[in-house]
Structure formats: structure tokens, C-alpha cells
Structure 1
Amino acid sequence: MCWNVSLSLKLPEHQTIVLLPNNYLISLVLHQAILAAVCYLTGWCVLRWDVKVNYTRKINHFMLMLIPFVLAWWLPYVPNVPTTIASLVTFVTMTSLFLPPIRNRVPLVATAFASVDRPEDRPHTIAWIMSQAVAAYLVILVVFLTLRWLKAPELIAIPLLINGIGDGLAEPIGIRFGRHRYQVPSLAAGRCYTRSYEGSACVWVTSVIVILFLLPTLSWPVFIALVTWVPPIMTLTEAFSPHSWDAPFMYAMGGACVSLVLLLVG
């Protein structure tokens, strides 16, 4: 079968810029299909087996962040501004299915929503998910353009993976093993949430591992600067970011740190 549905722009000089490559479009469809299936299965576990939503939500978080990296090995494409915007529009559209008029009428959607609806977030669950996503994608776009200008766009993987893995592990690790807790702010007035030092340590450890993984692509001065500054900055950012809204802050601070290192050391 020949896939030929990419969105392109033809220039006067008969050059063509592919805005939404075929591989990206296929990856986008697969990503959403897999994510929808995972949301339904984890929501079913919440409703049927009383699994903590804090765990299932982070499973969904992992899948949301990591599936694109896995699909990129099979269906490689060059990210650009249109692909980032398309991903944001798709995420917002899919999340809109969780709005009450739809989920109250479609049991399948209601089950999937159960996988992300933490009781402590109600009634702001959807508002926080969607607003965080919009802010996060906008920050990612700025970080990507900055790193591309610095000729190191691949290093956007640093804040993306630290958030996807480190922050993804922080909550379940904190719930299971957290003994030393501290309070964090919230977007909702009058609410107070807690995190744990044990959970925050996941961000530090993940930051070091991600940078070590990228060592073959880095010079030694850049590597030393990154491994010195990124882990504490990302850990502190996760620690002090508002509850359920830490991704934009982690992307912004991680991207700023990587960019400054490249400017000063690279």
C-alpha cells in the first residue's frame, strides 16, 4: 500500500517543504489509538479493581510521552512547527471527549476518563489537563526553535524525557515509598497538595541517566555542565511547580538550562 497523504507547501522555485510528513501522520494516528486503548484499560482497572488513579494516570503519562519516541524509530520524520501544532490540536480534541456532555452519554469514554480523574483534582481535572497541555506545547515549540537555532535540536529530548520518566515516576514512588513530605501550591485557591522528597529524587536520578544516555553526542565540557546543572534545576522546578501543572515549568527551565549551557560552553 502506498501512503501519500502528507501536507506539503510548494514554493515558486519548485521546491517542496513537507509540513506534515506521511510518517508523522501515521505516527499520530497510531499514538492516539494506543493511548485511547491504554486509557480504557487503565480506567477499567480503576473501576473494576479499585486501582489508584494516581498510578493509572502516570501510566497514561508514560505512554503519552514515550510512544512518540518509540514510533520515531519505526517511522522517522523531522519535527517542525506544523507537527507540534498538529499534535497540540489533536491532544486538545481527544481530551475534549472527556467533557461531561460526551462522557456522561458514552460508557466507553467514561471508563477511559476514570483513569485520569484524581479525586483531589475534581472539579478541575479537565481544565488542568487541557490548560497544562496547551502551555506545555507552546513551551516545547519555543524550546525546539531555540535549540534548532543553536544547532542542537536533538537535545530537546532532555527536558522531554526527564518530564516523561522522572515526573512520571515521582508520584507513584512518592505514594508508595514517600515518608518525607512537603507542600506545593495549587492553581485552585484554598487547596494544598503534598509531594515527597523520595518522589522528587526520581527527577534527579532520571536527569542524570538521560544526560548519560546522550553522552556520545555531547562534548565533555557540555556533558559536565549539563550533568552539573540540569538535575538540580529540574528537581527544584518539579518540587515547586503548581500541582498538576508542572510540565510547562519543567520544559521551560530544562530548555533554558540546556540552551544556556550550549551558549556558554558548547
Structure 2
Amino acid sequence: MVVLLTSFFDLQSSPSLSLQVAIAAVWVSLILLIAWVTNRFVNSDAELVRKIVHIGTGNVILFAWLLNFPASVGITASILASAVTLLSYLFPILPGINSVGRQSLGTFFYAVSVGVLVACFWHLQQPEYAAIGILIMAWGDGLAALIGQRFGKHKYQVFGVQKSWEGSLTMAVVSYIVCSLILLFTVGNVWQTWLVSLIVALIATGLEAFSLLGVDNLTVPIGSAAFAFVLIQLLS
């Protein structure tokens, strides 16, 4: 996907701000439409709908990175999304994503992590690390939850939160793939990529295991991005 987008857009000349916002809005609208159709017409549980939104919206970071969105767009979107998600815990604004009174702030933390990573790594002119953090959260955590719930037969607990080894293995594998693909595209050094991706995958898996109140939606993306960035600087 990265290669296709890169070949289609000239990274030296960004689209206008209005076009950037329109592209992101269309993508998010498409994901919400898919989630609504799934919830309305497919016999599925609420968790599948949440993970469709969780995985799909996370990919917006690719558009932000490859189309050179200004940091202000990502930060503003994060603030607005954070406000909406907080309200949705009190009112049925996002009934398919948050349940009123649900004992988790995961969606809120997810929105906050996007703003934090964009603010940090756009300032450093290293947006690929923000992409690593958000995509590990989106794909790794999302697929880990789905695989764990459907196929997780070997359970363990971390501070009272039940996990499965099948889900954790999925988290590790997906995190490794996401990190290695982005680092190969940006850093290019093969041995650094394999080593850093392995370490980041293990760290992300450990952080995801501790998910009390959905805090992993904050610690996983920020931790993954930070460790990937620091390790690459140390090994360069």
C-alpha cells in the first residue's frame, strides 16, 4: 500500500489542505459506512464493529504521512475525536463503538495517542515513527483481539485482565510485520530493520497485555514509536 501511494503521489508537492482533509474524511466515512453495514445487515457482535473502526481509522496515518499533512490537521483531529469519544461514554453518540457506561477509555486513549505522536514526530520530521506506532496499535491490537476471542484457548491474566497466548502471538507477529515494512521503506538497512522490529514487536506485545481500562491504546502506539525511533538512532 505504501509503495502504491508513493508512486501515485509526488511527495515533494503536497495536495492542498482542503484536498488532504477531504481524502481523510472520505476514508473515515468509508470505514464508518462499512462498520454500519456490518452492524446493520451482518450477524456480528459489537466487538467486530469496534475493531473494523479501530483498524480502519488507524490507516489514516498513512495518508497523513505520505501526503504530508501539516501537524495541525492531525492534532486538531485528535482533539476533536478525543472530545467526541469522551462525550460518547455519557451519551449514545457512537453506539456501535462505545457503550454508555462501558468500563474502558480505549477509544479516548486511541485518539489522544494520534495527537501525541503527530505532534512529536512531525516536529522531528520523522513521521514514519508515528505511522509505526499507530499502525501497530490499529492492526496488531485489532487482529489480536479478534483472533484471541475466536481462537484463544490458552488463557492468562495480567492484573485481572484475561488474555490469550494466541492473541498475544498475533500481536507480536503483526507488530513485527508493520514495523519491518515501514523501516525497510524508510531506513533500508536490513539488519537494523529485523533487530529493531523484533524488539519493538516484543515491547508492543508486552504493553498490549496490560490493557486495564483500555490504557494499551495509549501505551502501545507511543511506546512502539518511541522505542523504534530510539533504537534506530542508537544503531545508526
TM-score by length of 2: 0.77
Whichever residue aligns with residue 118 of structure 2, its letter is L
**CA offset at residue 142 of structure 1?**
4.6
**CA offset at residue 26 of structure 1?**
0.8
Larger Rg: 1
CA distance in 2, matches of 1:254, 1:162: 8
Identify the residue that residue 24 of structure 1 maps to in structure 2: 20
Residues 1:135 and 2:112 are matched in the alignment = yes
Identify the residue that residue 213 of structure 1 maps to in structure 2: 181
Instruction: Report SS of the residue matched to 2:214.
Output: coil
Residues 1:62 and 2:55 are matched in the alignment = yes
CA 1:146–1:228: 2 relative to 1, 3 Å: farther
Deviation string, structure 1 residues 39-76 (Cα, Å, up to 9, x no partner): 3223324xx73x2222221112111112553x569xx5
Structure 2 stretches lacking a partner, 5+ long: 1-13
CA distance in 1, matches of 2:230, 2:86: 37
Residues 1:116 and 2:97 are matched in the alignment = yes
Q: 2:70 aligns with which of 80, 96, 101?
A: 80
Q: How does 1:167-178 map to 2 (within 5 A)?
A: 167-178=141-152
Q: How does 1:202-241 map to 2 (within 5 A)?
A: 202-214=170-182, 215-217=184-186, 218-241=188-211
Whichever residue aligns with residue 105 of structure 2, its letter is W
Q: How does 1:135-174 map to 2 (within 5 A)?
A: 135-145=112-122, 147-148=124-125, 152-174=126-148
Instruction: Report SS of the residue matched to 1:79.
Output: coil
**CA offset at residue 216 of structure 1?**
4.2
Aligned length: 220
Q: How does 1:246-261 map to 2 (within 5 A)?
A: 246-261=216-231
CA distance in 1, matches of 2:64, 2:111: 22
Q: Percent identity?
A: 24
Instruction: Report SS of the residue matched to 1:195.
Output: strand
Deviation string, structure 1 residues 67-101 (Cα, Å, up to 9, x no partner): 553x569xx52133201122213424654784665
CA distance in 2, matches of 1:252, 1:234: 10
Residues 1:53 and 2:46 are matched in the alignment = yes
CA 1:68–1:31: 2 relative to 1, 3 Å: farther
CA distance in 2, matches of 1:235, 1:209: 13
RMSD between aligned alpha carbons?
Answer: 3.0
CA contact (8 A) 1:184 1:194 kept: yes
**CA offset at residue 143 of structure 1?**
4.1
CA distance in 1, matches of 2:156, 2:180: 29
Residues 1:38 and 2:34 are matched in the alignment = yes
Q: How does 1:88-103 map to 2 (within 5 A)?
A: 88-92=78-82, 95=85, 98=88, 103=92
Identify the residue that residue 6 of structure 1 maps to in structure 2: none
**CA offset at residue 37 of structure 1?**
1.8
Instruction: Report SS of the residue matched to 2:49.
Output: helix
